[in-house]
Structure 1
Amino acid sequence: MANGIDPSGSVAALFGARVRRLRTAAGLTQAELGARTHVVSTRITQIERASGARPTLELARALDVALGADDLLVELWPYVYREAFPDWSRKFMEYSERAVAVREYAAHVVPGLLQTEPYARAVLSVGRTLGSKEQLEERVTARMGRQGRLRTPDRPELWVVLDEAVLRRPVGDPAVMREQLGRLVKTRTERHITVQVLPFDQGAHDVMGGSLTVLTMPDGSETAYTEGAHYGQLIEDPDEVRSFSLTYDRLRAAALPPLMSLDMIRSVLEDNRHGSNLPSRTDRRRLAQEQLQQSGGWQLRGGGRRIPGGRRPRP
């Protein structure tokens, strides 16, 4: 236990201990390592002692290169980053990494596991105060990293119910939205992923205004998680979890079947593509007025009424 720091105390302490070990093995002083990574030596001291601000992703990459760590520090960084989250949020992430089945209902945005990187960046850019662009990129990187489990042999079964609003609310520019809708369409080829859409005409339900996730663990137990714009709640009580699981099953039953859901997503995607090629409302009005004037000398007024000869009526 060097310098009184216990690497088992936190991931940040483990990260710092590995930086110190690699630095010592490389024969570098803290000042020399700081110079190679463009930070002051006191910043290296803070990292090694797990004091002060946690290392950024950019600094973790720089340390990895300077110390020849072969991505060891970069791979450890997401766990350091996670320690800044509340206990319930970290616990939910830990459950998610072990879950054999993930069932999600999303009311406003595509769930993180199915987000494209540009869509994730657009979502994370609003609704929260970010200290810097670097913080935004760290959050995007962490979110994209969590999708890696869907490509592993022990990947979970993912079942997602999307409110129709998720498809129709523009997030980012039109190109971002088209790419995201295209990603949802591609799930048809991924047998471990099922997507359904809950249409507007199903009316009110128990999870309006938020999201719901039900996780099934390897031992068959379940955990639920609800989230709103500014809060999240992890539910572990078996009776409460059963109630939320039943709520999810009702949402799934009310949603369109998977094939019809994909047809709706394709339809919205096509509308999005066509809409991006349409002239603006102002341009359409100007073109219509020009055509009317050319064909008969008519002029459009504010309410859409046509005045012959381009003259206004006498008062």
Structure 2
Amino acid sequence: MPTRRAVTGRSREPRARFAEELRSLRTRRGESLRQLGERLGWDWSLFGKMENGETLGGPEVVEALDQYYGTPGLLLALWELAINDQTQFRERYRRYMALEATATSLWHFAVSVLPGLLQTPAYAREVLAAGGLKGPELEQQVQARMGRRTLLDGDDAPPFRTILSEAALRTPLCDARHWREQLEYLSGVAERSNVTVHVLPFRAGFHGLMNTDVWYLRLPDGRTVAYTESGYRGELIEEYAAVERLQLSYDVVRDQALSPAESRKFVLRILEEVPCDPST
């Protein structure tokens, strides 16, 4: 669903609204990001990431921007709204994780990134780093993601079905060796009895989930809940009618996807395209 906009044409989503205001103030002055960085004494790439929504920055840089642009308190107020929205995102995600741990079955659709349950450490590290994490926090999140993979281990592991957009398989890691390891791991996991992997090829065209990464959880009480997410926010959906609509979209996409056997062959063909490490 597109980000809602007010009558002013500006986003109502706090993080996007903050980024829009930063970009608008700078462009009205006719400055480049590099010029802004030189004048305020910060690395210009930080301002670029803030304007693209990749990071919110800290209060000290936001206060400096407020002073520089002559907008006392405006940017800091927008920043606080965005920070609080991120806190709500984490709370929703924590609730989702609690439900995932008790789910009797899971199914999923990936737009451009492989699901965390099927990621190798190198893949998880590069994806999380692209989202702005670094240092100890990055390593902590990688370990947490690897811990989630145990959900699919053991005799009592729940059934897991995923449909991977071809884009998720055509976006490699920077290191070809790590990308090869990820594809090999994916191919191996797809052979497990409780894991079903489908590939949705580009030729399937437009569909109802093309902008939405979504998880569905069947809970012990028989209910199904859904969780949709982007790089910056997620939404836990429990209302029956809304979940039903998403399930119908998923069923249509599954009908367009390759069978599990064809999908595994597809992954192996992509694996053959990855350059081998000449040192091995």
**One-letter amino acid matched to 2:131:** G
In structure 2, which of residues 173, 176, 201 is the aligned counterpart of residue 174 of structure 1? Answer: 176
1:119 aligns with 2:120: no
- Tell me how far 1:187 sits from its aligned partner: 2.3
**Hey, what's the Cα distance between the residues in 2 that align with 1:250 and 1:84?**
32
The percent identity for this pair of structures is 39
- Tell me how far 1:246 sits from its aligned partner: 1.2
In structure 1, which of residues 135, 138, 141 is the aligned counterpart of residue 140 of structure 2? Answer: 138
- Tell me how far 1:158 sits from its aligned partner: 0.5
TM norm structure 1 = 0.58
Task: Note the 1:64-75 alignment, pairs <5 A.
Answer: none
Larger RCO, structure (CA 8 Å, separation 6 or more): 2
Tell me what 2:103 maps to.
99
- Tell me how far 1:85 sits from its aligned partner: 6.2
Task: Note the 1:1-315 alignment, pairs <5 A.
Answer: 86-128=90-132, 130=133, 132-273=134-275
- Tell me how far 1:210 sits from its aligned partner: 2.8
Q: Structure 1, residues 222-252: CA drift from partner, whole Å, max 9, x if none? A: 0001111211111000111111111111111
Answer yes or no: is the 8 Å Cα contact 1:119–1:172 preserved in 2: no
Structure with higher Rg: it is 1
Tell me what 2:9 maps to.
none
- Secondary structure of the residue aligned to 1:141 is helix
- Tell me how far 1:84 sits from its aligned partner: 9.5
Tell me what 1:289 maps to.
none
Name the count of aligned residue pairs: 192
**Hey, what's the Cα distance between the residues in 2 that align with 1:97 and 1:133?**
28
**One-letter amino acid matched to 1:162:** L
TM norm structure 2 = 0.65
**Inter-CA distance 260–159: structure 2 relative to 1 (3 Å threshold):** same
- Tell me how far 1:148 sits from its aligned partner: 1.2
Q: Structure 1, residues 156-195: CA drift from partner, whole Å, max 9, x if none? A: 1000100001111112311111111111111243000000
Answer yes or no: is the 8 Å Cα contact 2:89–2:234 preserved in 1: no
**One-letter amino acid matched to 1:160:** T
- Consecutive unaligned residues of structure 1, counting only runs of 5 or more, are 1-82, 278-315
- Consecutive unaligned residues of structure 2, counting only runs of 5 or more, are 1-86
- Tell me how far 1:89 sits from its aligned partner: 0.8
- Secondary structure of the residue aligned to 2:226 is strand
Alignment RMSD (CA, Å): 1.7
**Inter-CA distance 85–141: structure 2 relative to 1 (3 Å threshold):** farther
Q: Structure 1, residues 106-160: CA drift from partner, whole Å, max 9, x if none? A: 01111000001111111111022x3x41110000011111111211333110001
Answer yes or no: is the 8 Å Cα contact 2:176–2:274 preserved in 1: yes
**Hey, what's the Cα distance between the residues in 1 that align with 2:165 and 2:190?**
18
**One-letter amino acid matched to 1:125:** A
**Inter-CA distance 188–231: structure 2 relative to 1 (3 Å threshold):** closer
